[in-house]
Structures are given as structure tokens and as C-alpha cells.
Structure 1
Amino acid sequence: MPNFKELAERSHLMARLKIEEEKYNNLLTRFNTLSKATSDAIWDLDIKSGYMVWNKGIVGIFGHRDIAPTREWWLSHIHPEDLDLVLNEFEQLFKNHKNRTKTEYRFRCADGTYKSVLDRSFTLFDEEEKPVRIIGSIQDITERVNYVNAMQEQNVRLREISWIQSHEVRAPLARIMGLVKLLDATAETHPDVKELVGHLSGSAAELDNVISNILKRTS
């Protein structure tokens, strides 16, 4: 006959199992609702068996129709350069017993091209704090990523153009300023030259400041 301690442990275990079952059912309901209400690609992975299912978003976004219901199929379509990042993200999630995570990576389409995606996932743990199930939602963010990359490339080109132009202008400017110093040495005996040197020196200094400000804004 079980003693009081065993009964208490059993009761505690049953309570934990009930909580996890409720989480599972809520998660299942959420998965079914999301699958019907969103155009995102929703996936559901059983960690122990590796069985993985998708909603219709996998067809709409990536064009995949012939899908193997396995974790390996999903991993094999992640860009090779991003795979370690994704695996490490989930490894840290399991290690730290975190429920939620989001990861950006590239996923291969049916036509062989890649799309940039944001993958948000929720992990369900059992009573021993071991991960048993993950549900994820993949959103296509290709346009956003391409826009950001294009802006970064444009900024690089602008900095290069500004650098080249400023140095092309600085070369003759340096010669002008050198000439100003030379004229300034003889300007004391020539009032007209002294006035001209003053205007020329001011214009050169102003141009030098303009170039410096351009370089600061583009650096």
C-alpha cells in the first residue's frame, strides 16, 4: 500500500500531467485556428519521432507540394549558411527551457530559389522539462530583407562616391590654398592683391568645411 509521500508524489505528477495536457490541447487548438486563419506556413513537430506536418502555407509561400513529414525535410531546405544558426537557436532554447523563440533564415522554394523568413515558434515541455513538441509560424520577409540590403548597399556606394569626389575636389583646393599662402606673403606691399587673397582664402576655407561636412554625414 503506498505511503503518504508516494501518494503526494503521484498526486503532484498527475497534476503536472493534467497541466501539460491542457497546454497540449490549447496548443493544438491554436495550431488548427492559425492554420485556417493565416497565410503563414505553420508547422508542427513531434520532437521524439521527428514527425512534422505543415499547413497549406507551405504551398502558398514556397510552392512545395511533395513534402516529406519529417524534421529532416525541413532542415534540408534551410540555406546551408543559416543551418548552424537555426540549430544553435533551438539548442539554446531547449537548454534554457525557453518556450518562445524567433529566428530569421533562408528557406528553399520548390523552384530552387530562396526566400528570407521569420520563424516564430513555441515549445512544449513535459513534466521532466524535456522538449516534446514545437509549433512554428513562418512568415515571408523577403521584400523587407531585400529593401534593407538595398539601402545598405546604396549607403556604401554613396560613401564611396562622396569619398572619391571629396578627394578629387580637395586636390585642387589644396593647390589653391597653397597659392593663397604664397600670395599672402607678398600682399603687404600690394593692397589690391591682399584684398583678393582675403576673398580667395575665405572661399577656400568655406569649400573645405563643406567637404568635411559631407564626409561626416556619409561616414
Structure 2
Amino acid sequence: MLPDEWVEDRSRLLAGAAPDVVWDWNIETNHVWWSRNLEARLGYAVVEVCPTIEWWFERIHAADVARVRHVLTESLAGDEGSASAEYRFLRTDGTYATILGRLAIARREGKAVRAVGITERQRTEQTLRELEQRHRQILDAITDCVLVKGPHSKIVWANKAFRESYGMTNETLQGLIDAPFSEPDNTIQYIQDDAQVFDTGVTLDIPDEPMTRHDGHVLRVHTVKSAIFNDDGNV
């Protein structure tokens, strides 16, 4: 049953203090109120958002939207008091957040007239970020140089030892194939070795190769190049 009066000001004040996005949907008028965390969590300023449920659906990932619509439609048409769905939602920066939407449904004479939802970013995202940060801290603590490269030999990330040898930050290294002060012949050999690992997925052990520091000093180093595979088994 729907209460005779909704204490909206108090409820929305509490919703605004919640860490996740809270939304209040008047199904009869199709008006949606969003908590201010919509901007903090997903990048959308509340004052610029169209206050309808369609605005939300338009930003759900194309592979998820039909399933989410079905869950919502079935829940509103039935007699359930709640519903939930996991899906990807478009942020303003063009990336997708994996979130879990939970919905409480209020009815009048059996008909759904109002719904209040809480949209939580999946905790796995935070856990993965924490693990990645921890791994990078470990790699920064070792004295050997560690370099991560993507397709076409472009640098993705380097540990502290490598950054200090090159005298460059991760921001300046990212996207480069090699530092401009490296010998061109050495860079060409690096690219050929990288391509071999990318093509075969087999670790390449190079007992001795040159590495030029930012001060011009040439080191002789033992290099091991190993492939990193994704869930599909591709490099």
C-alpha cells in the first residue's frame, strides 16, 4: 500500500547523503528525481538531465537494455515489491560503468504507481582498481626494469626503475614506441622482438641487449619478453 503522504523532502535529503545514485520515479507522471550523486558517480549534472525514465534507458549498453526493460516491465506488471538488474551504463567520458540497480515498487490497489531505485557501482570495479594499484606498487618497489607494451610496440606502463632510467614519467612514455634518445637500430630490434612475442605468444629470452639511459649511458641488460593473455587466450 502507498502511504497517504510521502515525506519527500526528508527522504530526498537522506538520498542525497547516500554514496550511490538514488532515483525516485513517479510512474503515473513519468517524472524521475535523481540524487546529486548522479554527477559524482556517472558524470551527469542533475540540472541537465531529462527527468524521465527514457533518459536512463537511452544510456544503458545496447547489449543490456532489452533485458533491463524486460525485468522492469515484468516487475511493474506483476505483484512484486522489488526488482534488480545488473547492466552497463554510459558515463559522460564515454566509458561504461557496471552497476547493479535495485528497485522498490509501491502500488495502489495493485497497480505500480511509484518506484524508488538505488544504483550501485559494482564493488568488483573498486576491487580491481585496488588490486591494480597494489600490483603497480609492488612492481615499482623492485630494482629491475619492467615495461608493459600494447599492440605495435606502444608503451602502456613502466615501473619506477624503468622510468628513472629513461628520465620520463608514465604520462610521457605512454603511447611511445621508444624514447627519442635511443639508438634507432636498437629500437628497430625491440620492435621485431615485440612482434615475435605478439605473434607467437612464446616468451623470448634475450641474454644480452643494449639499453640507453636518458644521460646517454648504454647499459647491457638481460631482457625477458613475455606475453599477457586476455580471457579469450589472445595476446
TM-score tier after normalising by the smaller chain length: 0.5 to 0.7
Aligned amino acid, residue 3 of structure 2 = E
Matched length:
127
Displacement of 1:34 after TM fit?
Answer: 3.6
Displacement of 1:106 after TM fit?
Answer: 0.6
Displacement of 1:144 after TM fit?
Answer: 4.0
CA contact (8 A) 1:41 1:56 kept: yes
Which residue, out of 25, 29, 48, partners 1:45? 25
Measure the CA separation in 1 of the matches of 2:66 and 2:31.
21
Which residue, out of 113, 117, 120, partners 1:136? 117
Compute the TM-score of the two structures, normalised by the length of structure 1. 0.52
| Map of 1:67 onto structure 2 | 49
Question: Over residues 104-124 of structure 1, what are the superposed CA-to-partner deviations in whole Å (9 max), with x where a residue is unaligned?
Answer: 111111112110001111011
Matched, 1:102 2:84: yes
| Map of 1:55 onto structure 2 | 35
Displacement of 1:37 after TM fit?
Answer: 2.7
> Where do 5+ consecutive residues of structure 2 fail to align?
129-235
Compute the TM-score of the two structures, normalised by the length of structure 2. 0.49
Structure 1 segments of 4 or more deviating over 3 A?
28-31, 142-147
Which residue, out of 59, 63, 72, partners 1:77? 59
Instruction: Give 3-state SS (helix, strand or coil) of 1:25's partner.
Output: coil
Measure the CA separation in 1 of the matches of 2:75 and 2:10.
21
Which structure: greater helix fraction? 1
> Which of the pair has more CA radius of gyration?
1
Displacement of 1:146 after TM fit?
Answer: 8.2
Question: Over residues 167-186 of structure 1, what are the superposed CA-to-partner deviations in whole Å (9 max), with x where a residue is unaligned?
Answer: xxxxxxxxxxxxxxxxxxxx
| Map of 1:112 onto structure 2 | 94
Displacement of 1:133 after TM fit?
Answer: 0.8
Aligned amino acid, residue 61 of structure 2 = H
> Where do 5+ consecutive residues of structure 1 fail to align?
1-18, 148-219
Which structure: greater strand fraction? 2
Measure the CA separation in 1 of the matches of 2:52 and 2:81.
21
Identity of aligned residues (%): 26
Measure the CA separation in 2 of the matches of 1:68 and 1:114.
20
